[in-house]
Structure 1
Amino acid sequence: MRDFITGVRFFGRGLGIMLQSPRLLLLGALPAVLTTLLLTGGLVALVIWIDDLAALVTPFADDWASTWRTAVRITAGVLLFGAALTVGLISFSALTLAIGAPFYESIAEKVEDDLGLAPGEDLPFWRALGLGLRGGLALVARSLLFTIPLVIAGFVPVLGQTVVPVLLALVTAWFFALELVAVAYYRRGMTLKEQRTTLARRRGLALGLGLPSSLLCAIPLVAIVVMPIAFTGGVLVAHEALRNEPK
C-alpha cells in the first residue's frame, strides 16, 4: 500500500513539475493532440460504416426475419463500437508515446537534469521514434490479450458489473505504467523484458501512477494535459524502481 501511495504522489509531483514549466507541458501535449485527432477520425469513420460492418460480421442473419436480423445487427454494431472504443483507450497512451517519443525523450532529459537524477543516454530522433513505435505496439498487443477477454466478460450479469471493471482498471493501469516508464528505461539501454521485470518488483508503485493516469486519460480532451504529467511521473517512478535493483 505504501508503494501505491508513493506512485500516486509521483503523479502529483509530475503535475507540479509541469505547472512550473508550461513549455514542457505544451511540448508533451502536442503528441496527445495528434493522437486524439487520429483516433477520433477513426471512430467517426467507424460510425459512418457501422451498418455495413455489422452486416459483414453477421452473414448468418441474412435470411432471418427482419425483426431478428435488425436486432442482431444492432447488437453487433454496439459491440463493434464498444470494442473499437476500448482498443482506442488502450492504445491511446502507447500511440501518443510512440508518436511523441523524441519529444518525451527531451522531457525526460530535462526532468532528470533539473532533479539531479542519474542521466541516461541521449537517443537520436529516429532511434527514439523506432523504440517508441516498437515498444508501444508490443505493449498494446500484450495488453489486448488481457483486456479483450475482460471486455467480453463484462457482458456477464453481476460479474460484469462488479469484478470485471476493477480487474480491467488494474490491468489497464499496469500496462499504462509500463508505457510511461519506457523512455526513461530505453535511455538506459533496458529491453522491454527488463523493464517489465524491474517494474514488477514494485507493482504497487506502478499501479499508483498508472491508475489515476489511465482513469483521467479516459476523459476526452483531459488526456491531452494528463499525458505529459503522467509521463513526468513515469520518469520519477522509473528511477525509484531502479533504486533497489541489484547492481
Structure 2
Amino acid sequence: MIYSLQAIANGTRLVFEPGLRRFVIGPVIVNFLLYGGAIVYLIDNFGGWLDYGMAQVPSWLEWLEWLIWPLLVVALILIVFFTFTLVSNLIAAPFYGFLAEKVETRLTGRPPSDERGWVKAGVDALGRELVKLGYLLPRMAVLFLLGFVPGLNLITPFLWALFSAWMMAVQYLDYPMDNNQVGFTEMRRRLRARWWPTLTYGAGMSLATWVPVLNLILLPGGVAGGVMLWERYYRSLTLPTRH
C-alpha cells in the first residue's frame, strides 16, 4: 500500500522535471476545464437531485432518514465526479499515453515495446478509452440503480468507493500497459492478480480527483506513478494461459 501511494507522489514530482513538464500542459488544461464544469454543474443541480432521491425513500424507512440523507449526498457526488472523470480521461487519453511513454523511457532508459507511430498511437488511445467506457458504464449503471433499492441503498456508497478504486486503477494503469501492447482483457487479469497494489493505487488516484486545484497535477503524476507500478508489479507477471 505504501509503495502504491508513494508512486503517485514520486510520479507527481517526476513529471515536473525538465524534459517532462511540457507533456503535462495538455492534461492540466483538460482537467481544469472539465473539473471546473463539474463543480458548476453540481452546484446548480444538487439540491433538486437530493430532494428527488429523498422522495423515493419508502415510509417504512423514514426513521432512517438521518442515515439515508448523508449516504445519498455521497452517492450523488460520486456519480457526478465519476461521469466527469470518464469524460476528462476520454479527452486527455492521447496526452496521458504519450506522457506514460516518456516517463517509461526516462525511468528505464528504453521506450515501451510499441512500434506504432505517435499518430496511430493517439487514435488507438481514443479507441481504448471507448473500450474502457463500454466496460465501466454498465457497472456504473447497476450501482446507480441499486441506489434506489430500499435497504441496498444503504451500502451503495461503500460499493461506489470500492468500484472507484478499481475504476481508477483500470483507467491509469492501462496507459503503460497499452503502450506495451497488453490487451484490455489481459490488463484486467494482471490487475486482479496483484489486487492489493491495484486497489490501493486506485484508491489513491480516486482521492486525488477530489483535491481541488491540486488534482490538476496529481492526475498526470498518477500516470507516471502507474508506470512505476507497471515496472514493479505487472511487467514481468506471468499468468496461466486461458483455454
Q: Same fold (TM over 0.5)?
A: yes
Shift of 1:114: 0.9
SS in 2 for 1:100: helix
Counterpart for residue 138 of structure 1: 135
Q: Which amino acid aligns with 2:236?
A: R
SS in 1 for 2:2: helix
Counterpart for residue 42 of structure 1: 41
SS in 1 for 2:181: coil
Shift of 1:102: 1.0
CA–CA separation in structure 2 for the residues paired with 1:8 and 1:138 = 25
Q: C-alpha deviations, 1:132-154, integer Å up to 9, x for none? A: 23313522432453576479768
Shift of 1:205: 1.2
Q: Does 1:127 align with 2:135?
A: no
CA–CA separation in structure 1 for the residues paired with 2:137 and 2:28 = 21
Contact 2:190 2:237 in 1 (8 A): no
Shift of 1:197: 0.6
> How many pairs does the alignment contain?
223
Structure 2 unaligned spans of 5+: 57-64
Contact 2:100 2:224 in 1 (8 A): yes
Bigger CA radius of gyration = 1
CA–CA separation in structure 2 for the residues paired with 1:198 and 1:7 = 16
Q: C-alpha deviations, 1:102-151, integer Å up to 9, x for none? A: 11111011111111255142452333223223313522432453576479
CA–CA separation in structure 1 for the residues paired with 2:148 and 2:107 = 40
- Residues 194 and 146 (structure 1 numbering): CA distance in 2 closer, same or farther, change over 3 Å? farther
Contact 1:143 1:175 in 2 (8 A): no
Counterpart for residue 31 of structure 1: 30
Give the RMSD, CA atoms, in angstroms. Answer: 3.8
Counterpart for residue 217 of structure 2: 225
Percent identity, aligned pairs only, is 21
Shift of 1:202: 0.6
Counterpart for residue 60 of structure 2: none
Contact 2:32 2:216 in 1 (8 A): yes
- Matches of residues 61-76 of structure 1 in structure 2 within 5 Å? none
Out of 173, 189, 210, which is 2:202 matched to? 210
Question: When the two structures are superposed, what TM-score results if normalisation uses the length of structure 1?
Answer: 0.71
Shift of 1:214: 1.0
Q: Which amino acid aligns with 1:100?
A: A
Q: Does 1:242 align with 2:235?
A: yes
Moved more, 135-144 or 193-202: 135-144
Q: Does 1:22 align with 2:24?
A: no
Moved more, 107-116 or 33-42: 33-42
CA–CA separation in structure 2 for the residues paired with 1:154 and 1:86 = 17
- Residues 233 and 136 (structure 1 numbering): CA distance in 2 closer, same or farther, change over 3 Å? farther
Contact 1:7 1:237 in 2 (8 A): yes
Shift of 1:14: 0.8
Contact 1:120 1:184 in 2 (8 A): no
- Residues 16 and 58 (structure 1 numbering): CA distance in 2 closer, same or farther, change over 3 Å? closer
CA–CA separation in structure 2 for the residues paired with 1:45 and 1:242 = 45
- Residues 168 and 128 (structure 1 numbering): CA distance in 2 closer, same or farther, change over 3 Å? closer
